[in-house]
Amino acid sequence: MHDQSIAELAEGLRARRFSSRELTQHFLERIERIDPTLNSYITVSTDVALAAADAADGRIAAGDAGPLTGIPLAHKDIFLTRGIRTSCASRMLDNFIAPFDATVVERLAGTGVVTLGKTNMDEFAMGSSNETSYYGPARNPWDTTRVPGGSSGGSAAAVAGGLCVAATGTDTGGSIRQPAALCGVTGIKPTYGRCSRWGMIAFASSLDQAGVLTRSAEDAALLLQAMAGFDQRDSTSAREMVPDYSAGLGDDLTGLRIGLPAEYFGEGLDAGVEASVRAALAELEKLGATIHDISLPNAPLSVPVYYVVAPAECSSNLARFDGVRYGHRCEAPKDLEDLYKRSRAEGFGDEVKRRIMVGTYALSAGYYDAYYLKAQQLRQLIAGDFRRAFEQVDVIMGPTTPATAFELGAKTDDPVAMYLNDIYTIATNLAGLPGLSVPVAPVNGLPVGLQMIGDTFAEGRLLNVAHRLQQATDWHRAAPADPA
C-alpha cells in the first residue's frame, strides 16, 4: 500500500478494500522496521494516529469523506502540533509539547488526514543536509551513506522510503525543493503568503513558506488545496483566491514558453545532472512547449544576499529562546545573565549559533547599511530579473541542485560549500515566487530534480506542467529498495 498515490488509496478506502486503521498500521509497522536506519522521524505519534484513523473510518462509513480522509502523512517538526512534541530538531525545544496546532496542521486535520508523527530536519531549519539535527542526520533511502538534503530532509526521506504517503515541509532557501530532488520525490514551495505561517516556528520571516513533499504532482495538488488560503492570524497571509489545483492538472501544454536561465547551466553544474534535466526538457517539447534562453543576471548574488538576510531575521526570531519561558534551561544558573548565556549555549547547535552571530553582526550599529540594507537592495534587483523574465516566458526551469546527494559528513566542515548546494533555489525565496522540483532521470542510481519556477500565485501552472510530464514519463514512480 505504501507505493500507491493518495487518489489510489482514497479509492481503496471508499471501496472498503482496507480501512484507514489498517492503512495506518501498515505505515506504523514500516516506520518501526525501517526508520531506525533512515532516522526520518523524530517523534512517532502511534496513539494519536490510530485514534485519527478510527475517526476517519467513521467519516468514511457515514459518507462524509473527502479525498484526504484517512490518508497517513507526517509533519515536519517545525509545525506546532497540539499535544505532540515539537522540537525543531533542537535541544532547545527537546521537551516542548505544543499547546495548539499550526494553521497548516489544523486545516489538514479538518480533512481527516492521519498524522503519523513529526519528521527530522536541520535544527531550526538551518541547513542543507539534515546533518545539523540534534537527533542525528536523516539518511537518503537511495543510499544510506548519503544525505537526504535539508532542511526538510526527514520529510523527503520518509516519503521516498514509503514511511508516509506525503509530508509537510518548509522552504526558506530551497528546503523543500532541494531534498525533494535528492530523494526523488515531488516538492512544491508555493508563493510567499499562499500558506499560513501561523504556528510554524520562524527562521527567516520574509522567506519561510510551508509546502508539501509527495510522490506526484497530482498528490501535491490535493494537499496544497487543503493547506492554502488566507489566515487572519498571519499578517503576511495573502488574500488571493485559491484556485482548484486538481482541475487544471490535465491542461494542454501547447505553446507553453519555458525559460532556461544561462546562469543555471554554467560552471559548477554536474554534467550528468545537466543531461538529465535536458532530457526532461525534451519530453516537455514533445508535449508542445517551446524552449527560450533567458538571463537572470543577478542570480549569482542570491547566495551572499540570502546569507545576510536570513541570518539577520533568524537572529531576531531566535532571541525568544532564552531559557525563561519555555525550552531548554541550564542547571543552577548563578544569575539572569548566566541563565541566558548557558541556556542558549547548551540549547543551540553550531550552525544555529553561527547564523545568529552573523545576523547580529549584520544588524549591529555601523554595519546595518553596509550589509543588511545592501542585501535588501540587491534582493529587489533579483526580484526584478524574474519580473522581466516572466514578460517573455511562462515558466522558468533548470536543475534543482548542482549535483546528486553527497555523502554524509562530506561538507560539514565547509559551511560555504554546504551553502552553495542551494545556489539554484535561493533566488525563488528572495523573490517570493512559487517553485517546484520533480524527479527526472537518475544519475548513477541517484535521483535528480528538475526545478520549475512560476510567477506569483502560479502554483496551478507548475502543478499542471509537472503532472503532464509525469503522465508522459515514469521517473517519479521509481522507489528505493527497503534497507536491509
DSSP secondary structure of 253-301:
-TT-EEEEEGGGSSTT--HHHHHHHHHHHHHHHHTT-EEEEE--TTGGG
pTM over 0.75: yes
pLDDT reported for residue 324: 93
Confidence of residue 365 (pLDDT cuts 50, 70, 90): confident
Amino acid at residue number 250: G
State pLDDT tens for residues 111-170: 999 999 999 999 999 999 999 999 999 999 999 999 999 999 999 999 999 999 999 999
Q: How far apart are CA 185 and CA 347, in angstroms?
A: 32
Note whether residue 13 is domain-resident: yes
Q: Domain of residue 143: give its range.
A: 6-257
Backbone angles phi, psi at 226, to 5 degrees: -75, -30
Domain count, the chain: 1
Note whether residue 385 is domain-resident: no
What mean pLDDT comes out for the span 84-90?
Answer: 97
Find the range with the poorest average confidence among 182-186, 235-239, 242-246, 420-424. 420-424
Backbone angles phi, psi at 163, to 5 degrees: -100, 5
**Residue 47: which CATH number?**
3.90.1300.10
Mean pLDDT (the chain) is: 96
Note whether residue 113 is domain-resident: yes
Note whether residue 112 is domain-resident: yes
Amino acid at residue number 467: H
Note whether residue 270 is domain-resident: no
Q: Which residues are the active-site residues?
A: 76, 151, 175
Note whether residue 246 is domain-resident: yes
Burial class (CB in 10 A: 0-12, 13-18, 19+), 361: middle
What mean pLDDT comes out for the span 459-465?
Answer: 98
Note whether residue 421 is domain-resident: no
Note whether residue 451 is domain-resident: no
State pLDDT tens for residues 386-426: 999 999 999 999 999 999 999 999 998 888 888 888 999 99
